[in-house]
Amino acid sequence: MAPIHVGALLFDYQTIDVIGPCDLLNSASKMLMEGINRYTPVDPELLAKAPDFVFHHIGETLEPVRQLTSCVTIVPTIAVDDVPELDILLVGGDSPARSNLPPKLQDLVRRHAASGKLLFTTCTGSAVVAATGVLDGRKATVNNLEYNWVKKKYPNVQWTKEKKWIIDGNIWTGSGAVAGMDMVAHWIKETFGLDILIQAALSLDFEPRDVDGLFNVLPQRYDLTGNKISTHVFPE
């Protein structure tokens, strides 16, 4: 299986919007599972089918970018002019007062969406993408606290807040930051299987929710060694 190239636009986003999904994807990777297998057994069948990811943090230039939250500064791994073909593009949420992305980053969003490749947005990342025109005529969601101003500013988008994430073709939009992780968890499950998601979730001690915000994605609770906990809390 060829490595899956994941690109994340680097600007002053809320850090967890991007780092959370990237960590979850990495936790589903063959590389991380092979590392864990040195300390606690991982099913060989999981190792055999686990994907490989290559992450690109894409800046307008290679200058460090100070993030909106957490007092974190991130150095781009690549400038937008040098980005390889991406399989997935991830866009986090910005400050409501922020202006549009630089033109080159906007162009990357448009080209990627037009290619039919997967585009994830988290929180107000959908507003960032809406500013490029890519979401016009599509269904999308956004952080529910930001819903009213986003709907007013981008009226050509079919905004909804009925679900934690919305899938419209190749564009997946998540509401709040953790809902973005839930959305990516759903993609992992649908693409690689529940067993890969369970192993990834174990690595982060993370329990994803479904599209309605309910904790019924994993069939049963597991401890950090992968053993089922005796108290059953989810339906089979």
* pLDDT exceeds cutoff 50 at 233: no
pTM for this entry: 0.90
The answer to whether residue 190 sits within a structural domain is yes
The answer to whether residue 231 sits within a structural domain is no
For residue 24, give the CATH number of its domain.
3.40.50.880
The answer to whether residue 20 sits within a structural domain is yes
Task: Give pLDDT tens digits for 106-165.
Answer: 999 999 999 999 999 999 999 999 999 999 999 999 999 999 999 999 999 999 999 999
Q: What would the mean pLDDT of 222-227 be, rounded to a whole number?
A: 52
Beta strand 4-9 pairing with 65-66:
unpaired
Q: What is the pLDDT of residue 44?
A: 93
23 is in which domain, residue-wise? 4-204
Q: What is the pLDDT of residue 96?
A: 61
Burial of 40 (0-12, 13-18, 19+ CB in 10 A): exposed
The answer to whether residue 44 sits within a structural domain is yes
Identify the helix (H) or strand (E) that includes residue 44.
Answer: helix 44-49
pLDDT category at 229 given cuts 50, 70, 90 is low
The answer to whether residue 214 sits within a structural domain is no
Residue 200's identity, in one-letter code, is: A
The answer to whether residue 163 sits within a structural domain is yes
Task: Give pLDDT tens digits for 193-208.
Answer: 999 999 999 889 899 9
Q: What would the mean pLDDT of 29-55 be, rounded to a whole number?
A: 94
The answer to whether residue 229 sits within a structural domain is no
The answer to whether residue 220 sits within a structural domain is no
* pLDDT exceeds cutoff 50 at 26: yes
Residue 78 has which token pair? 């690549």
User: Between these two residues, 101 and 160, which has the higher pLDDT value?
Assistant: 160
Q: What is the pLDDT of residue 94?
A: 86
What's the total number of domains in the chain? 1
Q: What is the pLDDT of residue 234?
A: 34
